[in-house]
Structure 1
Amino acid sequence: MLRIGYYAHHHGSGHCRQIDKLAALLPIQKRQQLTVFTSLAPEAYAFSAIDEQQIVRLYPEDERTDDVLKGRAGKYWQPASLHYSPIGNADIQKRSHQILNTIVQRDIDLMIIDVSVEVAMLCRTVSIPYLYVRLPGLRDDTPHLEAFAGALALLAPYPQAIEAAMTPSWVRQKTVYLDFINLTKNDISSHQDFIKTLTTLTADHPNVISSFATKPIITVIKGYGGHEAIDAKLPELRRLLPDAFIISLGPIDNDLRAYVDVAIHVNDVTPFMYYSDYLLMACGLNAVAQAYYCTTPLVVLPDERPHQEQATMAQALIDQGRALSWEQFVYSMSAESTSAYPTKITASQTQDNLNDDRPSFFPTEDSFAAQALMDSIITYSTAKSWFNEWLLPQLGLRPEA
């Protein structure tokens, strides 16, 4: 088996969650061959498939007051191939040593970088093979294109069907599309259990218990990478649907709690995704991965992110007919007819009923590309044989002689 190092960026918990999901596709005894590099604090994300001893907690990469040059010093003071490169930063020096020293000590064969142009260039400079995780968005700047060119291949943790139209053809061809990795889609509680959960959550408010039996249930899902934009829509949502039962999952500003019926944190959002009448959510990769294959209508409210990451994902979902924009949702809900509401799920609808109603894009095991990737890592013992015998045939490419 190849020994894999995975660099997980510290912004939000999504990058750590991504390797956690990939690790879960390996047999338990094989997961010990993974090493995760991250500066995300342990309390920010609890790994389920990876032990703490496999995680290298990196020094931060923030600017320091004693830096010789700031990280973005201007056109004539920084390489065009890097986004951020302070000079004389002791933390980054120690961080780079942590990465390289661990690669040597643990004899890592292949790095997967999710995401950092600077770590990619570090690996290429010292001759470490790497794969680069390519997130949605407009990533046609010089640093990204150089990191893409330096990689053995690119990994897209989403289906090719929602690839942005402006993505260059060579980038598409060099990409292995992993589809959305959703490990909980086949383990969903019943609608009756969901109603029991709502009843428990509203035990102190008996006047609202009957509302979720007859009124539309709107679930608003927010992550920890930023939630202000979606929270700002809550007053308008309440005015638009005064009788709806509105659930807020995740962080929420205190002054906006009055606009929802329930504001909670849950470990498993899956029942809420399947048994609500609408989902309002940003377009973070992990949240979309969970919601994409269920039949509940999506309303996407993308957060501002670098490279228009969430806006591009939202537009792809809208273009595919898998989601509504906020404006489309407001228009449909503003109609006087109650036909704007979807037919409510009843307690008699079991999970088997829902499986029968899956849309045509629900994936099959045969197309589970992420599993194929992890299986290939188990099969090969050297990066060279894996690259030549498994990866290149997947891409249909051949490096120049």
Structure 2
Amino acid sequence: MRIGYYAHHHGSGHCRQADKLAALLPVELQRQLTVFTSLAADAYTFTTITEKQIVRLNPEDERPDDVLSGRAGQYWQPKSLHYSPVGNVDIQTRSWQILNTIRQHQIDIMIIDVSVEVAMLCRVASVPYLYVRLAGIRDDAPHVSAFTGALGLIAPYPQTLEALMTADWVRQKTLYLDFLPAANGKRLTYKAFIQMLMTSTNTTTDAPVNDRLRTFLLSPINEFSDKDNNQCITDSTTTHINVDKRQPMIITVIKGYGGHDAIDAKLSALRHALPDAFIISLGPINGDMLEFVDMSAQVDDVTPFIAHSNWLLMACGLNGIAQAYDYATPLVVLPDSRPHREQEVMAEALIAQGRALSWKQFMARIVEGQIQKVSSTYDNNEDLDSKSQNPKFANAAGSLAQDSKAKIVINSLATYSSPKLWFQDWLLPQLGLSPEI
């Protein structure tokens, strides 16, 4: 079957999810995938599909010449939609873009991530679709309409992180994919990670790397001991790293571009609570917060930071948690404010599962003297394939295992020749449901 994927333009996460799913498809079907999005081309670079496979949709913002605004009030707003301007030529154009492309490319089934309005457009046009369910409380009438109109629902997170208030019928109609695997990150030993820090560009200041890191990691004569081979290696031109039991506490704060002010606001308290920690800020940062971190950087791959930090402070965006979930590094979750309490619900589930601490819990443990006692989880020569994954939380989402739930679901679409056969012979038995005839 030919697949179409609608990726919402808020942040780059939805396009990233499309990229992850595309990577699981057989090459032939991967080349036939069509992604619909109004996200700008420079906001996210796909790794598995070409620009020719992407339909850049017109925007859906309100216009001054709209007949009715997008949220026109009780007697003018359909209860099945969140947002529906009337007379908006951009939305008219994007609707034709979607429907014309579905027809021209002979798309058999759409995956919608996420838009109630696109779901309803597909249902009215009689186009089969699967709807991506995100975390949070989504029991409003528009979401219920999108859920009921779908052949099935897919959740790109483990079922163990499902919100307690989710209706039973929604759970039953959902295929839980676990966290989708990200592209392979850099496999670095702890020693190599520290070397990377020492040679990275520090955007907080023009000064050399922080003195705390130098004190802990550099020998005075540029030597380090290879404990495995009992050798002492000297190089007059290369700065060597002495990694031993004096390792500093490394705290990495990971922020995305969907919002970072709330996390930045915690940096002052973090610095005062742990004055000797080496604090790294990844992603955007407010200029007045730079004095509270030792290093600020923009990186393409956060995997080494996740694997080799002592603590991670981060929001609860789907892609960020997916990357960190299977690693042993403890999390402190600082959820951003999102519609439907999306990140708050994810944070609550992670805390309840024992996978994360709240900010309040973290600060309380510092006061109790527990945090300072935490040392590095990793051996000096350990890479990301050894003990860096937490066996308590490890699952198929941590690798491209052939039997991962996501791979099974996405490849089932490639196996069947028509949506009807797939729906009747594969999906309904998986869900244990049968529609009324």
* 1:75 and 2:79 are equivalent in the alignment: no
Per the TM alignment, residue 366 of structure 1 is displaced from its structure 2 partner at its CA by 6.5
Per the TM alignment, residue 192 of structure 1 is displaced from its structure 2 partner at its CA by 1.9
Seen in structure 2, the aligned counterparts of structure 1 residues 204 and 275 have a Cα distance that, compared at 3 Å, is same
Judge which range, 193-202 or 357-366, deviates more. Answer: 357-366
Report the Cα distance in structure 2 between the residues aligned to 1:211 and 1:149, rounded to whole angstroms: 60
* 1:363 and 2:433 are equivalent in the alignment: no
TM-score, normalised to structure 2, is 0.88
Contact 1:234–1:256 (8 Å) recurs in 2? yes
Alignment-derived partner of residue 297 in structure 2? 264
Q: Residues 45-90 of structure 1: CA distance to partner in whole angstroms, max 9, x if unpaired?
A: 0111110000000000000000011000100011010000111101
Alignment-derived partner of residue 229 in structure 2? none
Q: Supply the AA of the counterpart residue of 2:313.
A: L
Report the Cα distance in structure 1 between the residues aligned to 2:127 and 2:264, rounded to whole angstroms: 43
Judge which range, 62-71 or 372-381, deviates more. Answer: 372-381
* 1:392 and 2:437 are equivalent in the alignment: no
Alignment-derived partner of residue 179 in structure 1? 178
* 1:234 and 2:279 are equivalent in the alignment: no
How many equivalent residue pairs?
399
Alignment-derived partner of residue 205 in structure 1? 209
Seen in structure 2, the aligned counterparts of structure 1 residues 181 and 21 have a Cα distance that, compared at 3 Å, is same
Seen in structure 2, the aligned counterparts of structure 1 residues 17 and 353 have a Cα distance that, compared at 3 Å, is closer
Matches within 5 A, 1:55-74: 55-74=54-73
Q: What SS does the corresponding residue of 2:175 show, helix, strand or coil? A: strand
More helix by share: 1
Alignment-derived partner of residue 278 in structure 1? 311
Contact 1:37–1:58 (8 Å) recurs in 2? yes
Contact 2:351–2:358 (8 Å) recurs in 1? yes
Q: Supply the AA of the counterpart residue of 2:355.
A: R
Identical-residue share of aligned pairs (%) = 61
Contact 2:161–2:346 (8 Å) recurs in 1? yes
Per the TM alignment, residue 347 of structure 1 is displaced from its structure 2 partner at its CA by 1.2
Report the Cα distance in structure 2 between the residues aligned to 1:101 and 1:352, rounded to whole angstroms: 46
Report the Cα distance in structure 1 between the residues aligned to 2:138 and 2:154, rounded to whole angstroms: 14
Q: Supply the AA of the counterpart residue of 1:249.
A: L
Contact 2:133–2:155 (8 Å) recurs in 1? yes
Q: Residues 243-300 of structure 1: CA distance to partner in whole angstroms, max 9, x if unpaired?
A: 1100011111111111111110111100000100000000000000000000000000
Seen in structure 2, the aligned counterparts of structure 1 residues 219 and 211 have a Cα distance that, compared at 3 Å, is farther
Per the TM alignment, residue 359 of structure 1 is displaced from its structure 2 partner at its CA by 2.0
Contact 2:212–2:276 (8 Å) recurs in 1? no
Matches within 5 A, 1:128-207: 128-184=127-183, 188-201=187-200, 204-205=208-209, 207=211
* 1:329 and 2:353 are equivalent in the alignment: no
Report the Cα distance in structure 2 between the residues aligned to 1:61 and 1:229, rounded to whole angstroms: 28
Contact 1:35–1:55 (8 Å) recurs in 2? yes
Report the Cα distance in structure 1 between the residues aligned to 2:250 and 2:406, rounded to whole angstroms: 33
The counterpart of 2:248, out of the listed 202, 215, 237, is 215
Contact 1:218–1:245 (8 Å) recurs in 2? yes
Q: What SS does the corresponding residue of 1:43 show, helix, strand or coil? A: helix
Alignment-derived partner of residue 248 in structure 1? 281
Report the Cα distance in structure 2 between the residues aligned to 1:280 and 1:385, rounded to whole angstroms: 46
Alignment-derived partner of residue 299 in structure 1? 332
* 1:126 and 2:125 are equivalent in the alignment: yes
Matches within 5 A, 1:341-356: 341-343=374-376, 345-354=378-387
Report the Cα distance in structure 2 between the residues aligned to 1:388 and 1:171, rounded to whole angstroms: 19
Report the Cα distance in structure 1 between the residues aligned to 2:104 and 2:344, rounded to whole angstroms: 41
Alignment-derived partner of residue 225 in structure 1? 258
Seen in structure 2, the aligned counterparts of structure 1 residues 240 and 26 have a Cα distance that, compared at 3 Å, is same
Report the Cα distance in structure 2 between the residues aligned to 1:270 and 1:211, rounded to whole angstroms: 25
Q: What SS does the corresponding residue of 1:46 show, helix, strand or coil? A: coil
Report the Cα distance in structure 2 between the residues aligned to 1:295 and 1:338, rounded to whole angstroms: 15
Per the TM alignment, residue 211 of structure 1 is displaced from its structure 2 partner at its CA by 5.5
Q: Supply the AA of the counterpart residue of 2:328.
A: T
Structure 1 unaligned spans of 5+: none
Contact 1:22–1:370 (8 Å) recurs in 2? yes
Seen in structure 2, the aligned counterparts of structure 1 residues 108 and 211 have a Cα distance that, compared at 3 Å, is farther
Contact 2:253–2:280 (8 Å) recurs in 1? yes
TM-score, normalised to structure 1, is 0.96
* 1:32 and 2:36 are equivalent in the alignment: no
Per the TM alignment, residue 341 of structure 1 is displaced from its structure 2 partner at its CA by 2.4
Bigger Rg, structure 1 or 2? 2
Contact 2:329–2:377 (8 Å) recurs in 1? no
* 1:96 and 2:100 are equivalent in the alignment: no
Per the TM alignment, residue 21 of structure 1 is displaced from its structure 2 partner at its CA by 0.4
Report the Cα distance in structure 1 between the residues aligned to 2:330 and 2:212, rounded to whole angstroms: 23
Report the Cα distance in structure 1 between the residues aligned to 2:25 and 2:342, rounded to whole angstroms: 29
Q: CA RMSD in A?
A: 1.7
Q: Residues 89-125 of structure 1: CA distance to partner in whole angstroms, max 9, x if unpaired?
A: 0100001000000000000000010000000000000
Alignment-derived partner of residue 372 in structure 1? 408
Alignment-derived partner of residue 105 in structure 1? 104
Judge which range, 176-185 or 369-378, deviates more. Answer: 176-185
Per the TM alignment, residue 217 of structure 1 is displaced from its structure 2 partner at its CA by 0.2
